Structure 1
Amino acid sequence: MTKISDLTPVEKDLYLWQGDITTLSCDAVVNAANAQLLGCFRVLHSCIDNCLHSAAGLSLRYRCFEIMREQGHEEPTGQAKITPGYNLPSKYVIHTVGPIVSGRLTDQHCELLKSCYLSSLKLAEENGCKSIAFCCISTGVFGFPQHKAAEIAVSTVKDYKKTTSSDIKVIFNVFKDDDLMIYRNLLNC
Structure 2
Amino acid sequence: MNDNKSIFNQREALDYLVKTLANETKQYRNLTIPADQDDKRQLLRGLMNVRAPGPIDLEFLAVQDRLLQKEVRDKGVVTVSQIPTVNEDLINSGAVRIPLGDKLSLWQGDITRLAVDAIVNAANSQLLGCFVPGHNCIDNVIHSAAGIQLREACDALITAQNMPEPTGAAKITSAYNLPSKHVIHTVGPIVQDGLTPGLEQDLANCYRACLEIAVANQVRSLAFCCISTGVFRFPNEVAAAIAIATVMAFLAAHEEKFDRIIFNVFLDRDVAIYQKLLDSQLIDG
CA displacement, residues 106-137 of structure 1 (integer Å, 9 cap, x when unaligned): 00000000000000001011101111000000
Q: For 1:1-189, list aligned pairs within 5 A.
A: 1-10=77-86, 11-168=101-258, 169-188=260-279
Write the distance in 2 (CA, Å) between the matches of 1:41 and 1:188: 38
Rg bigger for which structure?
Answer: 2
Deviation at residue 71 of structure 1 after TM alignment: 0.8
CA displacement, residues 82-127 of structure 1 (integer Å, 9 cap, x when unaligned): 0000000000000000000011100000000000000000101110
The percent identity for this pair of structures is: 52
Write the distance in 2 (CA, Å) between the matches of 1:167 and 1:41: 35
Q: Larger strand proportion, structure 1 or 2?
A: 1
Find the residue that maps to 1:188 and give its secondary structure.
helix
**Count of residues in Structure 1 that have an aligned counterpart in Structure 2:** 189
Q: Which has the higher contact order (CA 8 A, sep 6+)?
A: 1
Write the distance in 2 (CA, Å) between the matches of 1:68 and 1:96: 13
TM-score, normalising length: structure 1: 0.98
Deviation at residue 162 of structure 1 after TM alignment: 1.5
Kindly indicate whether the alpha-carbon contact (under 8 Å) linking 1:13 and 1:167 is maintained by their aligned counterparts in 2. no
Write the distance in 2 (CA, Å) between the matches of 1:24 and 1:103: 35
Find the residue that maps to 2:208 and give its secondary structure.
helix
Find the residue that maps to 1:156 and give its secondary structure.
helix
Q: Give structure 1 stretches of 5+ with no counterpart.
A: none
Q: Give structure 2 stretches of 5+ with no counterpart.
A: 1-76, 87-100, 281-285
CA displacement, residues 55-106 of structure 1 (integer Å, 9 cap, x when unaligned): 0000000000111111100000000000000000000000000000011100
Find the residue that maps to 1:35 and give its secondary structure.
coil
